Amino acid sequence: MPEADDLVVRAACLLQQATGSRLGADIALHKVLPMGGGIGGGSSDAATTLIALNRLWRTGLSRAELQALGLQLGADVPVFVFGRDAFAEGVGEALQPLALPPAWYVIVFPKVGIPTAEIFRAPELTRNTAPIKIADFVTSTARNDLQPVACSRFPEVERVIDWLAQHAPARMTGSGACVFAETASEADARRIVESCPPQWQAWKVRSLARHPLYEWLQ
């Protein structure tokens, strides 16, 4: 990827431009999440860059100001700057904090990258459903309108959903391609991961209520 297209570099440059800082930084990125997996890895990297450099460069921006900057980088960046479990509305900038219980999840990557723009441009995408309310989310009655489109264009995603659904209710993350399911325990998550077919990649993960650098912003 060209350096100018990297979200981490773009986040650092944006912070420089917004604050007039002339300082720099050496940044190393250890990428673990799959490209095109729809888990928000790039957005999380950008948010962490904004938080860390805001502190390192002593630019003094508030959390709300960094969220506004993050929105220029992508709709998912503000929630990572927000740094807590949250319900997002608008294009990702209207956030309400949630208190969610700790949980274990299984994430399965079908090793298919899905271009987000292609899914959102799809003429068959449903665009007139009623907005999901926070009560729907809390009671697990939410939906993902992007999932049918992604499954029709990338059948491997649907195969992963069908397989994972044998173990726990499963659905696609964002615009895909990863699929996730909440499990009853870490042991259940481990068992499912160990049984994952070899053509896919699976992880067990624990929920995180706050960003590791949450206390760096007030």
The residues, ordered by sequence, that sit 6+ positions from 137 with a Cβ below 8 Å of its Cβ are: 87, 98
Q: pLDDT tens for residues 143-188?
A: 788 899 999 999 999 999 999 999 999 999 988 899 999 999 999 9
3-state secondary structure of 137: helix
CA–centroid distance for 178 within its chain: 11
- Give residue 92's pLDDT: 80
What residue type is assigned to position 134 of the chain? I
The DSSP letter of residue 39 is: S
Domains detected in the chain:
3-98 (3.30.230.10), 104-206 (3.30.70.890)
- Give residue 62's pLDDT: 97
Q: Is the dihedral of CA 189, 141, 214, 51 positive or negative?
A: positive
Q: Is the dihedral of CA 8, 62, 23, 26 positive or negative?
A: negative
CA–centroid distance for 209 within its chain: 14
Rounded Cα gap, residues 64 and 81, in angstroms:
8
Bridge partners, 183 (sequence order): 104
Q: Check: CB of residue 107 under 8 Å from CB of residue 180.
A: yes
For residue 10, name the pLDDT band (cuts at 50, 70, 90): very high
pTM: 0.88
Rounded Cα gap, residues 137 and 47, in angstroms:
24
Rounded Cα gap, residues 171 and 128, in angstroms:
21
Rounded Cα gap, residues 143 and 141, in angstroms:
7
Q: pLDDT tens for residues 71-86?
A: 999 999 999 999 999 9
Q: Check: CB of residue 75 under 8 Å from CB of residue 31.
A: no
Peptide bond into 177 cis (omega under 30): yes
Encode burial over 54-84: b for 16+ CB neighbours within 10 A, e otherwise.
beebebebebebbbebbbebbbbbbbbbbbe
- Give residue 215's pLDDT: 95
CA–centroid distance for 116 within its chain: 12
